[in-house]
Structure 1
Amino acid sequence: MNAITSSEFQTLNSQAVDLSPLQAVIFDWAGTLVDFGSLAPTQIFVEAFATFGISITLEQARGPMGLSKWDHIHQLLQEPSIAAQWNSMFGRAPSDADVDAIYARFMPMQIAKVGEFSAPIDGAVQVLQWLRANRLKVGSCSGYPREVLNQLLPQAAKAGIAPDHVVAGDELTAGGRPGPYMAIANVLALGISDVRACVKVDDTVPGIEEGLNAGMWTIGLSLSGNEVGYSKEEYSAADSVDVEAKIAVAEAKLKKAGSHYVMRTISDLPAVLAKIAERMRRGELPNS
């Protein structure tokens, strides 16, 4: 999985790396820092819809990933085949009240399950240590509501994942992704002087759009995230040709969304940040 080994991390820390004028990296959570394959939300969407007699596939559940969970459910209900099922089951088109009802069913299921998917993605702990050693601040935001993050964060912290600031998908009145609001909230909380000195790292299209809308550099994650969707076990057992094909599709989608760079997992971040910093020293900006 191209994780950073202990010896490689020691070598990385011993090398002089000029990351100026970068100031911060803002991460997504599932599929980026923890939960290889972004599995925690996906299966719960399937199960929550099933309690209403509605069948959705894992692929459908992954489609709107990166949005806040209420918006995610709302968008799923707009999908023609799902909306048709709802109409057949209840004799009417789905409404916002129905989104509320599914969300209310989804939340306790997600809270109960999210801790099972709190394991750091290989290399994440070392990379966060490396960022701090190089004086970069570490922010984060998520489509998860605060109640879910309250279950996830303590367990992730015990494993070594503890950003300087965390913004949940339901706690800003301005809204969530693809708007810039959670990313900007990190800028304010971390005391960053220039949004153009921030890098947003995310595995979803709405997350990349969030960073772009905030005026930041953006890095998409292919292998570890929602777009490929393998569990670690599935990835280990998968045919290499199939793996590369899925990665190619994920990379193309994230590049089309506007990612400045696409990498496979967080282990690749140090090298990509060095490239961004070099471009900034040449006078390049995210929107150039």
Structure 2
Amino acid sequence: MKIETVILDWAGTAVDFGCFAPVNVFLTIFEDAGVTVTLEEARKPMGMLKIDHIRTMLEMPRIADEWQRVHGQAFTEENVSALYKQFETKLMESLATYTDPIQHVKATVQQLREAGIRIGSTTGYTDSMMEVVTRHAADKGYQPDFLVTPTQVGDKGRPCPFMIFKNMEALGSKATKQVVKVGDTTSDIMEALNAGVWAVGVIIGSSEMGLSEAEFQALTAEEQQQVIAKTKCIFEETGAHYTIETIAELPALIETINERITRI
């Protein structure tokens, strides 16, 4: 028995180094509502279905207090819906720009396919958002074998396991221990753990690291190692079975996991 399926997240894992497409929009919609949020606050729920992400931000004590102060009352579900509508509009305007495959992704996917491994994918984006992302990513040479969005599982996105199960069903995966989920957020790790599959956090280019490619390259080697170590620690504390610095390390890691499976 060995790994048959790898399920990749999209933004911050396969495309969009640093996962900047949604982050910039979260900052803008809150600012437009008179409530300034920090980059850290905007990134914390990353990987969730986007309406859940907005609700989670509004539930953060500091943001909730600031909303109450600015608007004179606690936030309501109507506020969540209104912010989400703005989010969707603004994101759709800029989404195509953030579809470049991250370094090593195309070559690694090719390598995995040659080893007979199927490539699934999950996301925090909706169907309509992913229509834009998949079209542009495919033009740039990246196309997994299957995609599941939260829209397709009744909006029960991460950390629920259902998108992984739907990938497994479609790709013919017989056992959870033969599936690896790779993602760049704590939501990805929790999704994998809840599904009972191998949870792998990818560090460089991740939303959790939160740096653009230019920002990361501008760091000294020592500073790079510090942010890598910090991100690795967050994934491990969340319960990741493994972390990798880049997706290029994935084929070797799969060999390691295969050896573990034979001993189970």
Fold similarity call, TM over 0.5: yes
Q: What SS does the corresponding residue of 2:181 show, helix, strand or coil?
A: strand
**CA distances 1:258-280 after superposition (whole Å, capped 9, x unpaired):** 11110111111111111111111
Instruction: Pick from 126, 150, 171 the counterpart of residue 145 of structure 1.
Output: 126
**CA distances 1:188-218 after superposition (whole Å, capped 9, x unpaired):** 1111111210000011111111111111011
Task: Give the Å deviation of 1:224.
Answer: 1.6
Q: What SS does the corresponding residue of 1:166 show, helix, strand or coil?
A: coil
* Partner AA of 2:165 in structure 1: I
Instruction: With the length of structure 2 as denominator, give the TM-score of the two structures.
Output: 0.97
Change in 2 beyond 3 A, CA 1:253/1:192: same
1:90-129 alignment runs, 5 A limit: 90-129=71-110
Instruction: Pick from 136, 143, 157 the counterpart of residue 176 of structure 1.
Output: 157
2:6/2:117 contact within 8 Å kept: yes
CA distance in 1, matches of 2:73, 2:224: 41
Instruction: Pick from 114, 136, 141 the counterpart of residue 117 of structure 2.
Output: 136
Listed as ranges, the gaps of 5+ residues in structure 1 are: 1-19, 284-288
1:48 maps to 2:39? no
CA distance in 2, matches of 1:61, 1:153: 24
1:68 maps to 2:49? yes
1:3-22 alignment runs, 5 A limit: 21-22=2-3
Aligned to 2:263: 282
* Partner AA of 1:93 in structure 2: A
Q: What SS does the corresponding residue of 1:201 show, helix, strand or coil?
A: strand
CA distance in 1, matches of 2:147, 2:35: 33
Task: Give the Å deviation of 1:170.
Answer: 3.0
* Partner AA of 1:260 in structure 2: H
Aligned to 2:210: 229
2:177/2:261 contact within 8 Å kept: no
Larger helix proportion of the pair? 2
Task: Give the Å deviation of 1:169.
Answer: 2.5
Aligned to 1:251: 232
CA distance in 2, matches of 1:69, 1:178: 13
CA distance in 2, matches of 1:133, 1:159: 20
1:220/1:263 contact within 8 Å kept: yes
Q: What SS does the corresponding residue of 1:171 show, helix, strand or coil?
A: helix
Q: What SS does the corresponding residue of 1:262 show, helix, strand or coil?
A: strand
CA distance in 2, matches of 1:244, 1:200: 24
* Partner AA of 1:276 in structure 2: I
**CA distances 1:69-96 after superposition (whole Å, capped 9, x unpaired):** 0110001001122112211221110112
Bigger shift: 164-173 or 147-156?
A: 164-173
Q: What SS does the corresponding residue of 1:67 show, helix, strand or coil?
A: coil
Following superposition, which runs of at least 4 residues in structure 1 exceed 6 angstroms of deviation?
A: none
**CA distances 1:140-163 after superposition (whole Å, capped 9, x unpaired):** 000011111111101101111111
**CA distances 1:95-146 after superposition (whole Å, capped 9, x unpaired):** 1211111000000111111111100110000111111111111000000111
Aligned to 2:169: 188
CA distance in 1, matches of 2:62, 2:202: 29
1:32/1:265 contact within 8 Å kept: no
2:43/2:207 contact within 8 Å kept: yes
1:199 maps to 2:180? yes
Q: What SS does the corresponding residue of 2:152 show, helix, strand or coil?
A: coil
Give the fraction of aligned pairs with identical amino acids, expressed as a percent: 36
CA distance in 2, matches of 1:133, 1:236: 31
Residue-pair matches, total:
264
* Partner AA of 1:197 in structure 2: Q
Aligned to 2:144: 163
1:79 maps to 2:60? yes
Task: Give the Å deviation of 1:282.
Answer: 2.0
